[in-house]
Amino acid sequence: MKPFAETSFLCSLYRQDLFSASADRWFRRWSKPLDVSTLVLFEFRQSIRLHTRLFESNPDAGLSVESATHILRDQQKDLRDGVWLPRAVDWSCVHKTAEELSDKYTWEVGHRFADILHVATALCLDADTFLTFDSRQRRLAESEGMKVPFSDED
């Protein structure tokens, strides 16, 4: 198995949400460093920072600066400790694959830019398993033959 972790998977590992138990269970069974792209790492950090802005207007929908700082610190420690394996990607492969996925699926199914980019990245890294809780990305990854261990019910 060659898994690729997408942003929603990281978010569920580092902050408590509906999918955290499933993410934790899967992650505890995996004993090796987990591939992640620098794009996913950036999107994860951006999401955590953005949630501090949401907290200002709705504390139930966001994160305090203290919580966000703690999450970002934990994730950086895990990077240093080798939990995550940032993978360099061939961006020309990603862009070409993303264009092909867009042409193949977006007309009929509809996919967001980031969804296509993450799946294209996983494909260019030869992943066979796509770790996401995003239902659109799950469908796209499965359409391309990757396994997704989580369903909409997880």
- The structural domains of the chain, ordered by start, are 3-88+128-143 (3.40.50.1010)
pLDDT at residue 56 in the model: 84
> Taking 80 as the threshold, does the pLDDT of residue 154 lie above it?
no
Could you count the other beta carbons within 10 Å of the beta carbon of residue 125? 18
Instruction: List, for residues 10-45, the tens digit of each pLDDT value.
Output: 999 999 899 999 999 999 999 899 999 999 999 999
Residue 36's φ and ψ, nearest 5 degrees, are: -150, 145
Residues 86 and 41 sit within 8 Å (Cβ to Cβ): yes
Q: Bridge-partner residues for 100, per DSSP?
A: none
Residues 143 and 153 sit within 8 Å (Cβ to Cβ): no
**Per-residue confidence at 68, pLDDT binned at 50, 70, 90?**
very high
Instruction: List, for residues 74-126, the tens digit of each pLDDT value.
Output: 999 999 999 999 998 999 999 999 999 999 999 988 889 999 999 999 999 99
